[in-house]
Amino acid sequence: MTKTSNAMWGGRFAAGPDAIMEAINASIGFDKRLAAQDIAGSRAHAAMLAATGIVSDSDAEAMREGLLTVLSEIEEGRFEFSTALEDIHMNVEARLKEVIGEPAGRLHTGRSRNDQVATDFKLWVRDQLDAAEAGLVALIQALLAQAETGADWVMPGFTHLQTAQPVTWGHHMMAYVEMFGRDLSRVRDARARMNECPLGAAALAGTSFPIDREMTAQALGFDRPAANSLDAVSDRDFALEFLSAASICAMHLSRFAEELVIWSSAQFRFVVLSDRFSTGSSIMPQKKNPDAAELIRAKVGRIFGANVGLMTVMKGLPLAYSKDMQEDKEQVFDAADNLMLALAAMEGMVRDMAPQREALEGAAGAGFSTATDLADWLVRVLGMPFREAHHVTGALVAKAEAKGCDLPELSLAEMQEVHGEITQAVYDVLGVHNSVASRMSYGGTAPAQVRAQIARWKEVLA
């Protein structure tokens, strides 16, 4: 490919941009990632130009075949990108002219780089939404497998990172299924809303050529053409929605990563992470560090930053296109790369991790985790107002704490010192297994409820 000066501005300027202007103006260093989408859009545009009689069938065929040649050169690493040609659009068009000659000059009829880049970027973001959907489905399936294995395994549930009430391992896994399920819904919703084609909006006002925008929209897999040419070239909501959904998803990934860091520590030993997602220490041979989880936790900053960055770029732009919008891509590219990597890493960790049933159960009864069950029993069996039951239970917890034991280890006589009507039946609710089994309200931690939610989600995914 021969490097040429960019003469697309015609006779308006007496001299070309100097090196600084060329450097700040060029986007080929990053927008070359849009090559496949750019060529797909141009091939659809060429076919439409022929179908509407704007160009000849032979010219359109030459363009379409030539574009495939250019694409193969790019995919095989044989394409020489030129900064002087600014962006992916002009690089492709210049090479197409070298390949097929004069017909290449007709490709840009009825369109502008403004609608071209909006179309390319939408196609790319749509691909990322599809990839995010696949990654989320795989992660949810991994969580469902963990939940099914431990649907009746007891573990401590926490508030403020303090032991609160016993729950099941399956219930905890299903909490993340719900979180990532909402992420999946957001991804699908964003994809449906963004699926309108900007191609044919031209620079900002549409075109006088008799183009068929329905044809190009259909060829590129869009539901319909964008309805307003001004909006079509200036809209980046689709990228912002992707970044917003990615930010919430990354936050969920980070919360789970934080739990895995805690759970895999020597102080908790709730899970063992596989060697595939852990590293060692250069000087401490006993260490097994949850580095994949920690890196997932750190990815949030980059993804949040991309969201804020693009929002800031767009916030003050009048209609329609401004060169500021060239700064819309790098941060989206980076956020997408890191989100897909984090999703894949989390799925791998979840599939490989080994929950430690004995450690989970041992911790489930600690910290007076069945105190609420005791209070509920006082209300249900003795007819005590809940506030009084709360007070009685607090006194029993204080007695157990002073004795250095847990609630089930208090004798009946010791309990009756606090409230004389307590009977032997109270011990039926103090065990952690009894506690979780009793939580049969919809969405509760009882194993039967957990299994029902697993079945529901399997049906949803199917």
Q: Are 258 and 332 in contact (CB under 8 A)?
A: no
Q: In terms of C-beta density within 10 A (0-12 exposed, 13-18 middle, 19 or more buried), how is residue 371 classed? A: buried
Catalytic residue among 72, 265, 281, 322: 281
**Positive or negative: CA dihedral 258, 260, 266, 270:** positive
Type of residue numbered 163: T
**Positive or negative: CA dihedral 199, 203, 204, 210:** negative
User: From CA 131, how far away is CA 136, in angstroms rounded?
Assistant: 9
Q: Are 422 and 415 in contact (CB under 8 A)?
A: yes
| 324 phi and psi angles, rounded to 5 deg | -50, -35
Residue 178's CB is within 10 A of a number of other CB atoms, namely 14
**Residue 403 CB partners (closer than 8 Å, separation 6+):** 409, 410, 414
Torsion angle of C-alpha atoms 373, 374, 375, 377, degrees rounded to 10: 90
| 50 phi and psi angles, rounded to 5 deg | -75, -40
* 183-214 b/e (C-beta count within 10 Å ≥ 16 → b): bbebbbebbeebbbbbbbbbebebbeeebbbe
Catalytic residue among 160, 208, 282, 441: 160
- Nearest Cα to 106, choosing from 37, 35, 56? 56
User: From CA 146, how far away is CA 252, in angstroms rounded?
Assistant: 18
| 156 phi and psi angles, rounded to 5 deg | -75, 140
Annotation says 441 is catalytic: no
Annotation says 254 is catalytic: no
Q: How far is CA 74 from CA 44, 101, 109, 128, in A?
A: 19, 19, 24, 20
**Active-site residue list:** 160, 281
